[in-house]
Structure formats: structure tokens, C-alpha cells
Amino acid sequence: MSKPRVIYWFRTDLRLHDSPALKVALDLEPECLYPIWTWDPHYVYNARVGPNRWQYLLDCQNDLSSSISKLNPRSKLFLMREGPTTLLPKLFNSWKITHLVYEKDTDAYARQRDIEIAKLAHEAGVEVVTRVGRTLWDSDRLVEKNGGKATMTQKQTIAAGDKIGNIPRPIPAPKFLPDPGELNLDFESQKPDIDADLNAPHRSSSDKSYAKIAGPNGDFAIPTMEELGLTPATTPHRGGETIALKTLAAIIKDEKYTATFEKPNTAPTAFEPQATTLLSPHLHFGSLSCREFYWRVQDVVDNYKGKASQPPTSLTGQLLFREMYFAAHAKLGFSFEQTYGNPECKFIPWHLPSKIDPKSGLKTREYIVDSAQADEWLNRWKYGRTGFPWIDAVMRQLRQEGWIHHLARHAVACFLTRGGCYIDWERGLEVFEEWLIDHEPACNVGNWQWLSCTAFFTQFFRCYSPIAFPQKWDREGKFVRRYVPELVHYPAKYIYEPWKAPIADQKKAGCLVKGDGSEFEDGQLKLYPKPMFDFNERKDLCMKGMKKAYSVGLRGNDPKVIDGSWSALFSDGDHPLGRVEQKTRVDVDEKVGRDRKRRGQGTLDNVITKKE
DNA sequence: TGGTTCGTTGAAGAG
DNA sequence: CCTCTTCAACGAACC
């Protein structure tokens, strides 16, 4: 009998250590093993991915490829520039593949894609083998053990996990890898249909992502940022399994830090070094296995002589939040990613809601500009020009470095939604999707729902102040001075509220608080914007709005939300920026059309390009 | 995994 | 030594 010929399809599992799927591929004792990556057009054009995450991904691919080559110099990560649904069936045929092996993916898009791929493989007579390795427990089994319901608390998640059983110990990296087979590409390559490139704002030159299937030199090399036409990354954070394991080892070595870690007691204002592990992007790309992380931490905790911290605030507790969000996503699918149609989400009439495709019931890339004021606030928030130094510092750190502390995410998310602008959490989610190097669909959605008090968390009266909160951690304002350098010479007394500094002090500090952030200099003096609103006034209005929305008590799947008649339940005074027009879904679509016409394409980035 | 206000309590210092 | 004042520290109640 002939031996298996296997494609190992790498996706979000860019590592060799603790990979159950890679192990099962090797256990097949294949005659040849092709480690491949295919460039999914969904990620290239439909997902929002800024240069920092692109670079991080390329880092992970390069590190993995060189690790593969160390085990077998004839092998590497073979990178192909074609979408998986068109490419894989051709490879099955050309390379006489018997088995396709991959790690089970988690988000709604990837799961849908994998069902399609499995069907194509079945039609080609190729056996598909998958294993769970991205989560501590299989998300579908967590849902099953949670009574078939979405996991909405960490308690439920732990209880469901206990019913499944112990978290498996990590397995070691393989000691050898089989040769790949012949790399003939005796077929026509197919370029993807592109209706829009969401990442066009990040391209400085023409996009050659799909120019040639095996790359410009025909050697299956990992592309460069230049080949992808992307502007250079600005982050100091670099990806790859080698760095991930080194970072983990350094954390574990500090037993006290590892065993007594409590998330709420870590400073969001700390930088170089930051107060938390910064392992999240490694978990996202799979350059670190979550089980490896879990057990290396748990072993330290179990041997620790003092009092160790416990979930949810401990290090392992952070992994359990991840499990909860993954399982909720597994249960709710695409509807998890939006309020509309989502039974677990409270309905709150935010500004700038997503435009919904009436056919699918899913959000589109467009949103409704029901308030020009709110649209301006969103723009100023995104680019760190709100006039609140703490908020602006965090947003600029996010844009430059692609990573911000978890509590900093809380602060800016609260500010954009229920604690300031009253803007839809789905707008904030998109900005995080674009800029975070650790962007994980389920975690991003879950955290935005949490912070906006849309789901998971309901105590909307707990509201982060952009002044008192950072002051608790950083009275001197070192963090603000780092990321909002125009304020570097401000006295600590005014660093979080520079508009209160007398003009003489402003001049002495070399920066005037003036304007809306569209200008940066006034003669010799730098400019920092005036606060875009009175925070306390806005906070009170938002809380009033939240109280009303909670008392109306609609969920995302309520018929009144679906057909738009919800607006009859809210009166003029119930909305922080005045009345939202009553619109049925169809009317809303027309309005978006008008807005797009009026504002060019109507996207946020066009508005910003004009300003810059 | 909040902020603010207001009341209580007790330490510390002035006289 | 007593009395009065101040204020930090804490906790409850409310948003």
C-alpha cells in the first residue's frame, strides 16, 4: 500500500511546538509532507489589517519557515499566492495528495471557509484531518456542555470545561519532518475577484499579492512588505515562535510575577516594559500554543509557596476569557459580531450604527451617519485628537505600536461608547481590527460588547474618567508625555487636563491648547486640541441614555430592532445627541446611499485623508 | 477590572 | 493633659 501524501495547511498555528494537528499529520507517516500557506483573499482585502499586523504575520511565517528548514533543509513554509478554495483542489491533483491536515479554526468566517474546503477535498477523494489546538477546550464542546447556550460568564465557561475534562498537556515539537514532494504547478493560477480593498489606505505602492503564484522568484518565498505594496510597519513588537517561547520563558522565570499576576493591578500606563506579558499577538497567530502557556504558568502556580492569584484576574484567568469568547462565537456565528440579530446583545440606539444588508441580516462595511458631530468625534478618537491626553496617548500608541494595555482598551472603548461619544461599539471594533497586532475576532467583539455594556457586562454606571483613572496609575503623566510629545513640558498638575493651564503656563510649556487637532503649530508654539466636549456633561447624558435603553430592554434579535420600529420607544430627550430619525431598514439603506454620495465614498479614511 | 460624594474614624499637631 | 482642628483613609451609597 502506498504511503500518504500530506498537505499540512498552516493558518493561525504558526509554530512547531504543541501542535496536535501537525502531530497527527506526522503520525500518518507520510511519504511526503507539504507545509503550505495560501494567501486568503478574505484576509488580504476584506479584513482590516494595518502594516503592523502584516509585518507581525510575515515575521511569524519567516520564523516558522526557518524552523522547518532546520529540521529538514529540503523543506520550508511554501507560500502560495492564491485563495485556498481555488488553489487546494488543483494542488490535490498536481501533487497527488491523499490527506489535508489543519488545525481547527475558530472564527465565523474561517469555520465557513473550512467547511467549503472540506467539501472540495471530499470531492477530490482527499481525506481531511483536523485537530483542536487553538483553544484549551474545543469551543463546540464547551457550548454543548453549557447546555447548548453561548458562554456569557467565566463561571459558565469553567463549569463547562470541567465537564469536558482536564486540559491536555502540551506536546513537544517534532524532531524531524518528511521531505516535501515535487513542487510542480502544472495549472493556471486564479486571481481573486476584488470588489474593494479595505487595506488600500495602507498601501504605498501597487499591490502584487497575487501577481505570481510562487512569488516573484518562483521559489514560494514569504512575501515582503514591499511585495504586498504596504507602507512600513512602525511597531517595535516582532512576531515568531522563537521570540514567543523566549518571552514565555522570561515570564515563567519570575515566579512571583507569574503566580501573583492580577490583571486589574497591572498599570495601563506602563511602557518599556509594559505591565502585562504581551503574549497576545503570539496567541493570535499561533506562534505560541495556549496550552503551552497555560501549563507552564499552572506549574509555577502549583509550586508557588506564597498565595497565588486566581481566575479571573490571574494569568490563566486571561486565557479563560479567551475560551469564553471563542465559545460564544462558535455558538452565535456571524451574529456574534454585531448587535443586529444577536439574542445576547442589549439594544442601545448608538450613533453611527452599521448598515445592515437586508438579505443576509449581517452588517456591511458602511455605517449610517445619523450625526455629523458623532462622525467627527469618531475621527478625532481614532487619530488621537480628542483633546483628552490620556485617550489620545492610548490611541496614538495603538496606531504606532499595535498594542495597548487591556485597561487602556477599557478606557478608550468606554469613552467612545457609553462613557462619552455614545457611538456604536461596532465602529470602535473596526479601528481595533485595523490596528491591533493581536486582533482576535472573538476577543475583540467580546471585549467591545463588554465595555459598551452591550453584553457580558451591565454596570454602565461604572465609567472610566479620562482624568482620574490614569492619575491613579501615573500621577506624573509619563505615559502621556511619551505618546503625546507636544505636552512633554506641561506640569503634572495639568497633564491630564491641559485646557485648565493658564495661557502663561501653556506658552512656557511650548504648546497652546487650541483648535480641533487639524493644525499642529502656531508660530513657534505647538498646538494640542481643546477637549472635544465637557466630559462630565457627556458622561451624564450617556448614562441617562443607557438607563433608558436598559429600561426599554430590547435585544438585538427583537422584531422591533429587526424592522426599525424600536425608535418609537425612544423620545427626543432619551438620546444624547438628539433624536435619531425613525427609519425602517429600507429607508436607512437609502439614507446611506445619500450620505455616500455627499461625502465621496463616505468612509472614515477618506475624511481623514482630506485632513492630513 | 469606576468615580464622586459624603459620612465616620482616628492620628497628629497646635494651643 | 485636655480640647479643638485638620486631614488622610476608608467605606457606603449613589450615579
Which grid coordinates are listed for A209?
499579492
Nucleotides of C under 7 A from a protein CB: 15
Residue A561 amino acid letter: V
Closest nt by CA–C1' to A462:
B2
Indicate if the pLDDT at residue A597 is higher than 90: no
Average pLDDT over residues A26-53: 97
Closest nt by CA–C1' to A459:
B2
Average pLDDT over residues A309-328: 97
Residue A445 amino acid letter: V
Which grid coordinates are listed for A609?
485623508
CA A307, CA A312: separation in Å to the nearest integer?
Answer: 15
CATH class, A1-132 region: alpha beta
pLDDT digits (tens, 9 = 90+) for A473-532: 999 999 999 999 999 999 999 999 999 999 999 999 999 999 999 999 999 999 999 999
Q: What does A431-480 look like in DSSP terms, one character per residue?
A: HHHHH-TT--HHHHHHHHHHHTTSSS---TT----TTHHHHHH-TT-HHH
Fold of A338-463+536-611: DNA Cyclobutane Dipyrimidine Photolyase, subunit A; domain 3 (1.10.579)
- Contacts of residue A100, defined as CB under 8 A and 6 or more positions apart, other chains included, come to A6, A7, A9, A88, A92, A117, A121, A126, A127, A128, A129
d(CA A226, C1' C10) / Å: 59
The pLDDT value recorded for residue A575 is 64
Q: Which residues of A are documented as binding site?
A: 276-280
pLDDT digits (tens, 9 = 90+) for A393-412: 999 999 999 999 999 999 99
Q: Smallest Cα–Cα separation from A316: which of A260, A269, A256, A255?
A: A260
Q: Is strand C within 7 Å of residue A543 (CB)?
A: yes
Q: Is strand C within 7 Å of residue A590 (CB)?
A: no
Indicate if the pLDDT at residue A583 is higher than 90: no
Q: Which CATH number fits domain A135-172+240-332: 1.25.40.80, 3.40.50.2000, 1.10.3720.10, 3.40.50.410?
A: 1.25.40.80
d(CA A268, C1' C12) / Å: 28
Q: Smallest Cα–Cα separation from A144: which of A129, A163, A124?
A: A163
Chain A 464-493 contacts with nucleic strand B (CB below 7 A): 464-465, 467-469, 472
Which pLDDT band holds residue A462 (cuts at 50, 70, 90)?
very high
Q: Which residues of A are documented as binding site for FAD?
A: 276-280
How is chain A split into domains, by residue range? 1-132, 135-172+240-332, 338-463+536-611, 486-533
CB-CB contact of A91 with A83 (8 Å): no
pLDDT digits (tens, 9 = 90+) for A161-195: 999 999 999 999 999 999 999 999 999 999 999 88
d(CA A139, C1' C1) / Å: 72
